[in-house]
Homo-oligomer: A and B are copies of this chain.
Amino acid sequence: MEKRVAVLQGDGIGPEVTSAAVRILEVVARRFNHTFHFDYGSIGGEAIDSFNDPLPKETIELCESSDAVLLGAVGGPKWDRNPSELRPEKGLLAIRKHFDLFANLRPVKAVPSLLQASPLKEEIVREVDMMIVRELTGGIYFGLPSRKTATAAVDTLVYTREEIERIVEKAFELARMRRGKVTSVDKANVLESSKLWREVVEEKRQRYPDVEVEHQLVDSAAMKLITNPKAFDVVVTENMFGDILSDEASVITGSLGLMPSASVRSDGFGLYEPVHGSAPDVAGMGIANPAAAILSAAMMLRYSFGMDTEAAAIEKAVDTVFEDGHFTADLAGSTDRALSTTEWTDKVIGELD
């Protein structure tokens, strides 16, 4: 197959980790006989510097003519005092909305060789394997009015039935390919939008009788992610709850540095990015952990290009490198055992080739 990938490296360690991911994709292309074209565009802080716009129209056009987007990370202290429209994260919010990337998928999986880095007891995190499905283009992130005066401020949480339907369907489809369980998280004892959410889940489940469904209030989900994370398979929730719960979930296994994410719509187009941020403190030092970017590239192969075998090959290679005890500085514990970004990527390529 021939595919065009827009690469938006962004800020901080973004360029280093996306470069590593591109190297991996090149190896995959060679081994599995594909052609990937990589075209580079600006987003976030560097786009503000060059275009005075966190999501320049050049970038939008580039992505429109691509099959998928690979993103590094955005943000850094340089832009922290900028007015709200000139902040790096506006680029992220804008690209999600522009391309209608309504489904944010975040797998959270315990890696046996890294469990000692988890803040949780090993018996609690061992075997954790869940997929958080966060609605990404609706809710209080985009509802109007959203405004502030000197004496008051208002934000609006709004969902249409269609917006809920498509994300809930996505969750059911994913559950079918996994362990067949959906946990829908809402605050139906307080919010009207959550009541509609729960109604839609109850309707949709009729079409997926093979999938087990459970409703959970967001406060109790926040507890259970810590006390019994193994109980979750697919978790589906609205935008803001998803923001909070997916970040909470991302630290329980101790491997935030290697968590990938996908933001997709129904036709297969998607944006893939590591969950970790731009880590300005280690940017340019060549020590960043590229695992999350590499695993994001694997998700791209699976969800945008339908290349399951290729995706699995990358994931297996990454697993093996960890099992063999190769780590970048963030995970190595003591730096003398730590590999650089490039050295670690070489190990993965060694497994893949």
Contact = CB atoms under 8 A, between A and B. Distances in A.
A256 B252 CA distance: 19
Majority secondary structure, A binding face: helix
Contact of A148 (B153, B193, B248): B193
B159 A152 contact: yes
A243 B150 CA distance: 26
A196 interface: yes
Interface string A291-324: 0000000000000000000000000000000000
A219 B218 CA distance: 14
B154 A192 contact: yes
- Interface size class for chain A? 35 or more
Interface in A136-159: 140-141, 143, 146-148, 150-159
Contact of A227 (B119, B158, B244): B119
Contact of A154 (B119, B143, B152, B153): B143
Contact of A243 (B119, B158, B219, B247): B219
Interface string A237-253: 00011011111101110
Interface string A208-234: 000000000011101101110000000
A89 interface: yes
A154 B156 contact: yes
A178 interface: no
B250 A148 contact: no
Contacts of A250: 223
A27 interface: no
Nearest to A228: B119
Contacts of A146: 191-192
A195 interface: yes
B157 A156 contact: yes
Contacts of A244: 218-219, 222, 241, 244
A162 to B, nearest CB: 8
27 contacts: A87-B189, A120-B120, A121-B121, A140-B157, A141-B190, A146-B191, A148-B192, A151-B162, A152-B158, A152-B159, A152-B161, A153-B158, A153-B159, A153-B191, A153-B193, A153-B195, A154-B156, A155-B157, A155-B158, A155-B191, A155-B192, A156-B157, A220-B247, A222-B222, A222-B244, A223-B247, A226-B248
